[in-house]
Amino acid sequence: MEVVVLVAGAILLVNGRTFQVLIAYVVLSAVVGALGITAALASPATFALFAVATVLKVVLAPLGIVLFVRANPAAADLRPSIPAPGRLLIVIAFALLAKVVTRLPAVATVPMADLVAFVVLCGVGMLIIHRNLLAHMVGLLVLGIGIGFAASMLAPGLPEPIELGTAFDALVATVIGLALVRAIVVHDPLLDVESLRRLRG
Amino acid sequence: MMAWVIAAPLLSAILTIAFRNREARRFARVVLAAIAAALPLSLVGTIDGLSGTFTAIVSVLGFLATVFSTGTFTPDWGVGRAIWSRKSVYFVLLGAFWSAMLLVVLADNFAALWLGISATTLATAFLVGFSGEAAALEAAWKYLVLCSVGIGFALLGIVALAHVAIAAGIDPRLTLSWTAIAGHTTPAAPSLAQLATVLMLVGFATKAGLFPMHAWLPDAHSKAPAPISALLSGVLVSCALYAIMRTLEVGAALGVSPLLHQILVWLGAASVIVAGALMLVQRDLKRMLAYSTVEHAGIVALALGFGGSLGFLAALLHVVGHAFAKSAAFFAAGMVQRDFSTTTLGKLRGLWQRGGSGRLLLAALVALSGMPPFGLFVSELLLVFAGIAAHQWVPLGLGLTGIALAFAAIARNAIEIESGTAKAQGIESSPALEIPRTVEQRIAARLASVASGAIAVALIGALGIAVVPWTSLGTSLLRIAATLESAP
């Protein structure tokens, strides 16, 4: 499982093609969902929320992005702002950092803390490395997956509101993100964040 | 009952869609908003004072924003291509925003509070991008991404807090209730408690627009329609600061207060000085007001960081005073935008001569600059006392420098735009705000706009004179004296 998460995270950060990144994202979310499913079985309500969040994250969000890219092929390039070797170095740094996190007294007792940290770092990394707004959407979704994963590891059987929270997080990123991207593509077909720099100072 | 109170603004906005007649719809909108604003009165005695204060801010300003929106926009609204640029959708999103903020301040646990804060993003991202202009969409995107990351970290902190609470033996059903956590003074995992509360603090600080997580705020607040800017600056930032206050409450119970206070002090001092400096170079009225929000959020953070009952009192008074002053300023800026079709500072002159909008703006700017008799003067004075009592000389010095810079920026711009002869250069029609066409529409719009802004200004003035608990102030001053005497 660790290797799958590591490879998926590496593809998210290193690859610049939307479809390949989406496949890595779906694999990552499915693996993380499988690891956290025992926590979601605490009650029917928790499981229902977990199911809603999973459908949003694993099915609807990627499907929405795929349909959008088919209609706007110019937006398919995620436009990384760092060369490939640099991105690979960042992946290695994130993996090492995730291992270091487990030595912190605060999280030493948390199971799979390194994986949680790696997924969260990958989410943040996507926001920083890629210039395409679709990558930012995926980054937000990966961050949400990391938080959901953290919830299932830190406090299994959490109250339903936390599950609701992670589901809502996915909803916000998916619905608002896609709606705004659809409006922005009219002004910039490449969806390059560099074109969104009118407001400064 | 609580659920109805929270849902009322959204339901009332949806209900008004059923009215076919335009005038009846406008009337229903205002009446239903008034009912929604009055409903929280039924909760008196069932919520604590802090929740009550913030509920009052949300309800009054939510109502005023609805009245202002009803007056500002005309029937031929909706030139943007996106679905959210439609008038009915605007009011539904405004209702949803108002309901979400009520959820934040009426929740009794962090999970519901977080949901409320997250729901505000859902509603306001579209409202920020309302005009459909490229710059507004850019602002909406920045807002979505930065705030989602911020509140994502807050959720991570809340999850860690749940772990701490469960380990401390708190009833699993109450793991995220601040009252339940405050009842347990012995944390089971102090280092994790520290990490949890710091993550929550940083996450909520992002939504409050504190430096260095403030990048989204000036864009979003300046590009949104004026009533939404008023709510974003006056109420949403207040709700985020409320979340910080609750985090501090839990932090105190978990024994991690000193760290949280230190973080707040430095975030606050940096916010005040950076925002004060940036206000000096702004050339757009709404953008300057947006940076002023960063400055005032910084003042509140600084006061909370100084700690003690004096710091808390200063913070609370400042939140209330700022909410009304900033809302009034944005209402006035909206009227100026409608009259001049611009908010560029170099193009605005002689606003005093224009009557309503110019004078309302001046009153709001004077209040924001911290001049007496407005409430912000009292809270800033209390901030100084709290800083002295806490012996935090460097952050206090930085904060006062920032306040002075902000004062200079506001004073210079207020004099520039209020004096001289009225003129408007390079006017271009704004797609977001249309000029009412008939005489009746113009009168009704002006009345609604001036009334909502004037009420807000009157409330700030009243806060400075009547609502400020002068007896508490006296007690606090005595406490400072005692603290200073006992200081080594």
> B265-301 burial string, b = 16+ CB within 10 Å, else e?
bbbbbbbbbbbbbbbeebebbbbbbbbbbbbbbbbbb
pTM of structure: 0.90
**Which chain A positions have a beta carbon within 8 Å of B163's beta carbon?**
110, 154-155
Q: Do B122 and A150 touch (CB under 8 A)?
A: no
**B191 to chain A: nearest residue by CA?**
A106
B144 at the A interface (CB within 8 A)?
yes
Domain boundaries, chain B: 2-486
- Lowest-confidence pick of B164-173, B225-234, B391-400: B164-173
A-B contacts at Cβ under 8 angstroms = 138
* A13, part of any domain: yes
- Considering its fold, how many domains does chain A have in total? 1
pLDDT tens digits along B322-376: 999 999 899 888 888 888 888 888 888 888 877 777 888 888 899 899 888 788 8
Name which of B124, B141, B142 to mutate to probe chain A: the one with the most chain A Cβ atoms within 10 A of its Cβ.
Answer: B141
* A82, part of any domain: yes
* A23, part of any domain: yes
| Domain containing residue A11 | 2-195
Which residues of B, range 169-198, sit inside 8 Å of A by Cβ?
172-173, 175-176, 189, 191-192, 194-195
Confidence band, pLDDT 50/70/90 cuts, at residue B432? very low
Give the minimum alpha-carbon distance from B161 to chain A in angstroms, rounded to a whole number. Answer: 9
3-state secondary structure of A195: helix
* A167, part of any domain: yes
Give the minimum alpha-carbon distance from A186 to chain B in angstroms, rounded to a whole number. Answer: 9
Give the minimum alpha-carbon distance from B218 to chain A in angstroms, rounded to a whole number. Answer: 9
Confidence band, pLDDT 50/70/90 cuts, at residue B486? low
Taking all residues of chain A, what is their mean pLDDT, rounded to a whole number? Answer: 86
Which residues of B, range 339-398, sit inside 8 Å of A by Cβ?
none
Q: Do B137 and A180 touch (CB under 8 A)?
A: yes
Give the minimum alpha-carbon distance from A3 to chain B in angstroms, rounded to a whole number. Answer: 24
- Lowest-confidence pick of A94-108, B160-174, B293-307, B424-438: B424-438
Q: How large is the ipTM?
A: 0.91
Q: How far apart are CA A57 and CA A125, in angstroms?
A: 18
pLDDT tens digits along A35-75: 877 777 777 877 887 888 888 888 888 999 999 999 989 88
B163 at the A interface (CB within 8 A)?
yes
Residue B157's pLDDT is what?
93
Give the minimum alpha-carbon distance from B21 to chain A in angstroms, rounded to a whole number. Answer: 31
Q: Do B159 and A155 touch (CB under 8 A)?
A: yes
* A201, part of any domain: no
Q: Do A177 and B162 touch (CB under 8 A)?
A: no
Mean pLDDT of B123-133: 87
- Residue B170 in this model has a pLDDT that exceeds 80: yes
